[in-house]
Structure 1
Amino acid sequence: MASRKWSEMNGGQKFGVVAGAIVQLVLAGLAWSDLAHRPAKKVNGPKGVWAAVIAINYAGPIAYFLAGRKD
């Protein structure tokens, strides 16, 4: 699939890109905030590794919330 320039997108496509970016940034921000405030003993693995994993698109924050935290 060929990538499009912003100016070539219609309004709905621009909205989708912006909405997706906002969701991704909110997920990452929530995950980083949780990681920063959670004691290391309540995190599965090193906090530094999870901080890097969270930066991976949608998959990182979702992986952190599902597997990175101990209850």
Structure 2
Amino acid sequence: MAARKWDELSPRARRLLVAAGSADAALRAAALFDLRRRSADRVRGPKWAWIVALSVVSSAGLLPLAWFLVGRRR
């Protein structure tokens, strides 16, 4: 199945894509901000790896959620 072009999408599909992209960007920014403020001893795993993953990997919001659920030590 060939990918559709933006012009071929319905207005509803366009709104959903923009909303999903905005939510992903907001979650990613919140996770990076939290990670920056957190000391390395309160992070599970290497801090640099989380920064790279959150900055580079496209995960549709799953990686920032993983940060908030598993990456932080209480």
Counting matched residue pairs gives 71
The 2-side partners of 1:48 and 1:60 are apart by: 15
Q: Note the C-alpha offset of 1:64.
A: 0.8
3-state SS, counterpart of residue 70 of structure 1: coil
The 1-side partners of 2:38 and 2:6 are apart by: 39
Task: Pick from 61, 65, 69 the counterpart of residue 62 of structure 1.
Answer: 65
Q: Note the C-alpha offset of 1:62.
A: 1.1
Does structure 1 residue 47 correspond to structure 2 residue 50? no
Counterparts of residues 14-29 of structure 1 (less than 5 Å):
14-29=14-29
Unaligned 5+ segments in structure 2 are none
With the length of structure 1 as denominator, give the TM-score of the two structures. Answer: 0.91
Q: RMSD of the alignment, in Å?
A: 1.1
Segments of 4+ moved more than 4 angstroms: none
Query: Aligned residues: percent identity?
Result: 35
